[in-house]
């Protein structure tokens, strides 16, 4: 997969490839760093249906299918918060068609 997207983090160690189970990582980025990260994702989306998101200690290679779910959520009670989530589903094997 040639669409490598580096997730900014500050850990250093040997990198592990994550292909199953549960994994979550959260970082706080500047406006500029966030824009750069989102541009890398956009470039990868235009290029192919696969991407590899990675940090210094991990990487997740992923082939996805369309459509991509985009969720926008706003909460404005005590502190206002806007959340934008992209959800990619794993590519399916074959097209589900067979001839017998």
Residue 75 lies in a domain: yes
| Number of domains observed in the structure of the chain | 1
Residue 51 lies in a domain: yes
What local confidence, expressed as pLDDT, does residue 64 receive?
A: 94
Residue 50 lies in a domain: yes
Residue 15 lies in a domain: yes
Residue 95 lies in a domain: no
Residue 23 is part of which domain span?
Answer: 4-90
Euclidean distance between CA atoms 25 and 5, whole angstroms: 14
Q: What sign has the CA pseudo-torsion 88, 89, 92, 96?
A: negative
pLDDT averaged over the chain?
Answer: 87
Residue 96 lies in a domain: no
* 99 pLDDT higher than 70: no
pLDDT digits (tens, 9 = 90+) for 47-72: 999 999 998 899 999 999 999 999 99
Residue 9 lies in a domain: yes
Percentage of the residues of the chain whose pLDDT score is greater than 90? 68
């Amino acid at each position: 997969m040639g669409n490598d997207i580096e997730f900014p983090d500050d850990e250093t160690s040997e990198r592990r490839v994550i292909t199953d189970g549960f994994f979550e990582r959260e970082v706080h980025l500047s406006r500029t760093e966030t824009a750069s990260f989102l541009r890398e994702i956009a470039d990868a989306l235009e290029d192919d249906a696969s991407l590899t998101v990675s940090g210094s200690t991990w990487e997740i290679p992923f082939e996805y299918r369309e459509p991509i779910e985009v969720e926008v959520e706003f909460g404005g009670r005590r502190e206002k918060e806007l959340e934008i989530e992209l959800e990619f589903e794993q590519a399916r094997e074959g097209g589900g068609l067979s001839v017998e």
